Structure 1
């Protein structure tokens, strides 16, 4: 039921907030697709933490409730970043959400490596300050010496922090 609610809210936001979403799908394995929304994406507020869907890995099984805001209601409530609407999500109390700094601490990312680009499920997170991860959704975290992804990631070659996580379906 929660997955259905989330998918309905996501579909609603895609249809009602803007006509020009930049929506791309990229196969991550033969049985799934990764939804990647970037331009004109609605703001996501998860337990008070601001993020975007492309900068987050959230386990839909941990969602307690979702509220959808659009137009002036969204900007009055959450500011200019919500000009394309907002999804406010409340997670179960036992859910451990990690922002950028708590992610670095939890996965012992050295100060030296904290300046590296972050790649989440083969997608570059260009606004690292909006990174938000449900710890239960993370499969692995690696420092790659050479990030091998070309499409749709457009990163300079070199080291990167790679996060493999559950995808919202």
Structure 2
């Protein structure tokens, strides 16, 4: 039931945020703009920690509540990064959320490897400081010698930290 509620709220939120953007299909010289772009993404505040959906992995069953905040109120509460709105998510008390430093410690990422790019489910996390993971969603963590992904990861060839996590569906 929580998963259905989460998906309904997420769908509603995306539709309500979509009205603020010029969304159209690509034609000739026009580039398409999606509500999923990082520039237009709403800020997510999960148990008080700021993040964005592209830098997260959550299990919907661990969510206790979701509040949607838009407009000037969102910016006043959370700053300029909240200009596209805010999803405040409260997790159940037993949920372990890992920020970047907790993640490095939990998975014994060496100091040298902490400078590597992070790829979460084949998506490059360009603002690593916003990484926020529900520990129970993580299925594997690897240091790849050569990241094999083409699109949407836009990384130079070389090593990367690859996190595989359950995706919300």
TM-score, normalised via structure 1 length: 0.89
Equivalent residue for 1:87? 87
Gapped regions of structure 1 (runs ≥ 5)? 25-35
Query: Alpha carbons of 1:150 and 1:164: their partners in 2 closer, same or farther (altered >3 Å)?
Result: same
Distance of 1:20 and 1:98 partners within structure 2: 34
Equivalent residue for 1:114? 114
Distance of 2:71 and 2:11 partners within structure 1: 17
Taking the TM superposition and a 5 Å limit, the aligned residue runs for 1:8-157 are: 8-17=8-17, 18-20=20-22, 23=34, 37-157=37-157
- Bigger strand fraction: 1
Shift of 1:20: 4.4
Gapped regions of structure 2 (runs ≥ 5)? 24-32
Shift of 1:7: 1.4
Equivalent residue for 2:6? 6
Distance of 2:22 and 2:151 partners within structure 1: 21
TM-score, normalised via structure 2 length: 0.89
**Is the deviation greater in 57-66 or in 6-15?**
6-15
Shift of 1:76: 1.4
Shift of 1:8: 1.9
Partners of 1:51 and 1:131 within 8 A in 2? yes
Query: Alpha carbons of 1:42 and 1:120: their partners in 2 closer, same or farther (altered >3 Å)?
Result: same
Partners of 1:43 and 1:82 within 8 A in 2? yes
Partners of 1:58 and 1:133 within 8 A in 2? yes
What whole-Å deviation, never above 9, does each CA across 1:65-117 have from its counterpart, x for those lacking one?
Answer: 00001011211111111100000000011100000000000000000000000
What whole-Å deviation, never above 9, does each CA across 1:35-74 have from its counterpart, x for those lacking one?
Answer: x652300000000010000000011110000000101121
Q: Is 1:164 the counterpart of 2:164 in the alignment?
A: yes
SS of alignment partner, residue 88 of structure 1 = strand
Number of equivalenced pairs = 158
Cα RMSD (Å): 1.5
Distance of 1:10 and 1:127 partners within structure 2: 22
